[in-house]
Structure 1
Amino acid sequence: MTWMRHLSSASGCPDDKGRVLTIKEVRTNLMNMVGVRSQWGEKNPWQEPSVMQPVAESQAQLPVRKPSDSFVRACIPLSDPEAREKYLLFTGGIRFGRLLEDFDTLAGLICYNHNKNPDLGDNQKSPYAFVTVLVDRIEKSSSSELALSAKNDIYAQGNVTWVGKSSMECSMFMQQEIDGKVHQFLSAKYLFAARNPLNNMAGIINPLDPQTPEEKAAFQLGEENKKKRQQEGTKSLLKTPPSEEERLIIHDIFLSTLDQQSGSLRVRLKPENTVWMEDTILKSLIICHPEQRNLYNKIFGGFLMRRAYELAWITASVYSKKRPGMCKVVDDILFKKPVEIGSLLFLSSQVVYSNGPDLQVHIHAEVVNPQEGTRETTNDFHFTFDTGVPDLPRVMPKTYAESMMYLVGKRHYES
């Protein structure tokens, strides 16, 4: 694939001016493409004079783009002591949540790069807002067991590898040079959708023409991912009952918690070396200030991912009585609706599945309107941690709802 060919050198792929972007420059370029308002409360950026791309009615009206057209490589300059402070974990490691923020920012620039019109020059503004629909998967490389250095620069890169009519998939990687060797330690897939901010209708995305066999294979994988997401949607436990095998698992767990001597289905006992799922809950409240807004004056998705991850990390730490390392997998982060400035955002974290030293942590995010007394779900997050504790207690559901959460966690873990 195009992005795979660039993994061999930490010097990176240059931008149009012949150099690697810093992550700060990625944000600046993204702001320039969108026409961001510089201060909270200023006029809508889409009303500002600019070289605005026309709104197309079909993909046939848009220029065909190659995967290499959207490629971006950026540096997180940890070798700079001032920049490093933002990414430094109190244990001396790297804050994984900060990397999630940068991944989200980079994915946004990649989307806008893909949708450029080469005939309009560098100062063009996109007529669309590209919003994160789903983080399909962020995964730590199984071959990268070295501890990351908090003093060595990290390079993030990626490009668009699949395009539908109004959505696209970005494939991205992060790597770091350790002891003279470049290690790829993180990969990600983001699904973005184009929206017209003036009427909130779906936008039309430039078609993609993969060139090489690797690019064509990546495009085909994107098609398969789309079908897989559709199939998984029909199998959701919110729509369909568990499979026969899953029902037997839940029944066996239920029987293991009964007091057999009581002769009653109501008397429950916690088995040895287990923890009731209800006892793993941790909660957090976020007041959504303008400081955390994105380019469209909604709360930045990367900020939400960082806060959710940090709560999940704390949950895994409390459960295992040990500070776990970087999580293994971030799976299926679904953005159901944007979070508005001024919202009260509640994050609820819970261990929903355990297997050996591994934990599956689910974060549920909802916006609370105190005036109307309403709650609306905005996001769901799924994190997999390897705690390194071999005799970790097993999490036990008590209610039917917890049993369904257990199965969801098991499905994500086994995916």
Structure 2
Amino acid sequence: MQQHILHALRRPCKVDILRRTLSSNTSNGETLTIKETREKLKLLVGAQTIWGSSTAGSVFAPVATSQDEIPPRTMAHSFRKVVIPLGTNPMLKEKYINFYQGIRFGRILEDLDTFAVDISYAHSHDSAHPDKKSPLSIVTALVDRIVLCEQPILPDRDIRMQGNVTWAGKTSMEVTMKLDQEIDQNWKQLLEAKFLMVARNPATKSAAVINKLIPEGPEEEALFKLGEETKAKRMLESQKTLLKTPPDENERLLIHNLFLETLDPKASTFKVRVKPERSVWMEDTLLKNLVICMPEQRNLYNKIFGGFLMRKAFELAYANACLHCKGRAKVLVVDDIAFKKSVEVGSFLFLSSQVVYTLDNHMMVKVHAEVVNPKDDSRETTNDFYFLFALQSTEVPRVIPKSYAESMLYLDGKRHFDS
């Protein structure tokens, strides 16, 4: 009994966590855990702690209308370190470990989303008044890319997360994060992730301005320039999507050759289709799931947490990849996750996964997420997810489209693979 009391007394209260924000993540300060970071964000935003209870967040603080009204920031201002204490807190291991004695990557996606929000608020919040609630709502607009390293993520050692804002526009910012673990007394990188975050005025739901970012030195200027180039590339690719423009000449030729491969040479007709050797029809790779969105999965703003959506989509994609290759697939890249619409608590979320492109031992899996209205079966797209998986050495069965719509999915998957 006495041990339980002492343990409770040692536990930091929520106010203490918020006050530690400024001293944490520095060379002399204490690094917060990812759980403490979530608690800190709840206080910073004034989130509803119990579903259905009233909050003090109905009165919103004034939001700046111009970037000239708020001070500019440096990249160092938003730099943060957070730890996932898998080694120092063995009880946490159960939440993160998978049945291969490896890591549940979906949990890492959840933590990355939380950390990206934390870094974004560090960029925009007034550090001179840490107890003051933020006037902004900051959400994830896009997971630009997550690239995993060869180093496996171990479930029994602390994971160090560090990152900062590397580019900022008027209402959006790019957050770059890196994860590493200490292996053989050396810190080895696990992955690098880039998220695009957007600021909103919680009262009007419109875009809100954020602090300008001033790069210091050639290295930071190069990072900022890369962010500008990435933004321009995203805008260009959005205009070249297959939903707006037809395939180019090389893509049309590729689809035609794939079609010719599926014709029966003895039939002399376009109607008889045969599956090439060591291949699978794309329609046979479809795997679906339905998620009822509960209050437990809500974020700071009472919408469904983006990290939860990513975890559910990844786990469905992973299962699909393993079923397709009849083996243990490894995720290499998470690419271009667009959050097109927030998901409300109580929604029926329909997830549809499909292997859309294969090459050698690689496969691209797309997950389409849509909210289903049970009254009239109407659907609205909320997210598209792209995951690149690979086998160790064995080639995976080729995926072959049958219809024109599947051919467009195939080209879409190839574009993401080639990028």
**TM-score computed with the length of structure 1 as normaliser:** 0.93
- Residue 7 (structure 1) aligns with: none
Partner of 1:60: 68
- Rounded to whole Å, the distance in 1 between the matches of 2:197 and 2:287 is 30
Q: Which residue pairs with 1:83 in the alignment? A: 92
1:114 aligns with 2:114: no
Measure, in 2, the Cα distance between the counterparts of 1:23 and 1:67: 21
Give the alignment partner of residue 232 of structure 2, picking from 216, 227, 232: 227
Aligned counterparts of 1:366 and 1:330: Cα–Cα separation in 2: 19
Measured at CA, do residues 184 and 53 of structure 1 come closer, stay the same or move farther in structure 2, by a change above 3 Å?
Answer: farther
Structure 1 residue 396 and structure 2 residue 384: aligned? no
* Counterpart position of 2:8: none
1:10 is matched with: none
Distance 2:307 2:127 in 1: 29
Q: Give the aligned residue type for 2:91.
A: E
Distance (Å, rounded) in 2 between the aligned partners of 1:146 and 1:172: 17
Number of aligned residue pairs: 396
Match of 2:351 in 1: 347
Could you list the per-position Cα deviations for residues 146-179 of structure 1 after superposition, in whole angstroms to 9, with x for gaps in the alignment?
3332211001111001111111100001001112
Find the counterpart in structure 2 of residue 8 from structure 1.
none
Q: Which runs of 4+ in 1 moved over 6 A?
A: none
Alpha-carbon displacement from aligned partner over 1:90-135 (angstroms, at most 9, x marks no partner)? 110000010000000000010111001244x111211111111100
Aligned-pair Cα RMSD in Å:
1.5
Counterpart-to-counterpart distance in 2, 1:76 and 1:410: 35
- SS of 2:215's equivalent in the other structure is coil
Q: What letter corresponds to residue 166 of structure 1 in structure 2?
A: T
- Assess, with a 3 A threshold, how the Cα gap between structure 1 residues 161 and 217 changes in structure 2: closer, same or farther: same
What do residues 3-59 of structure 1 show as CA deviations (whole Å, max 9, x unaligned)? xxxxxxxxxx834981111111111111111111111112355226xxx75311110
| Structure 1 residues 57 and 413: alpha-carbon distance in aligned structure 2, compared to 1, 3 A threshold | same
Aligned to 2:38: 27
Q: What is the match of residue 201 of structure 2?
A: 196
State which of 144, 148, 162 in structure 1 corresponds to 2:167: 162
Partner residue, 1:206:
211
In structure 2, distance between residues paired with 1:117 and 1:77 = 28
The whole-number CA distance in structure 1 between the counterparts of 2:157 and 2:127 is 35
Using the alignment, how far apart are the partners of 2:54 and 2:407 within structure 1?
49
Separation (CA, whole Å) in 1 of partners of 2:257 and 2:83: 50
Alignment of 1:340-379 (within 5 A): 340-379=344-383
Query: Separation in 2 of the partners of 1:45 and 1:364?
Result: 36
Q: Counterparts in 2 of 1:94-113, with a 5 A limit?
A: 94-113=103-122
2:151·2:189 contact (CA, 8 Å) conserved in 1?
no
Task: Map 1:217-366 to 2 at 5 A.
Answer: 217-325=222-330, 327-366=331-370
Q: Quick one: structure 1 residues 72 and 45, their matched pair in 2 at CA, closer, same or farther if it must change by over 3 Å?
A: farther
Q: Which moved more, 1:105-114 or 1:178-187?
A: 178-187
1:139 alignment partner in structure 2: 147
Alpha-carbon distance between aligned partners in 2 of 1:215 and 1:136, rounded to the nearest angstrom: 19
Q: Percent identity?
A: 54
Local SS of the residue matching 1:56: coil
* Structure 1 unaligned blocks of 5 or more: 1-12
- Contact 2:362/2:395 (<8 A) preserved: no
The answer to whether the Cα contact below 8 Å between 1:97 and 1:305 also exists between their aligned partners in 2 is: yes
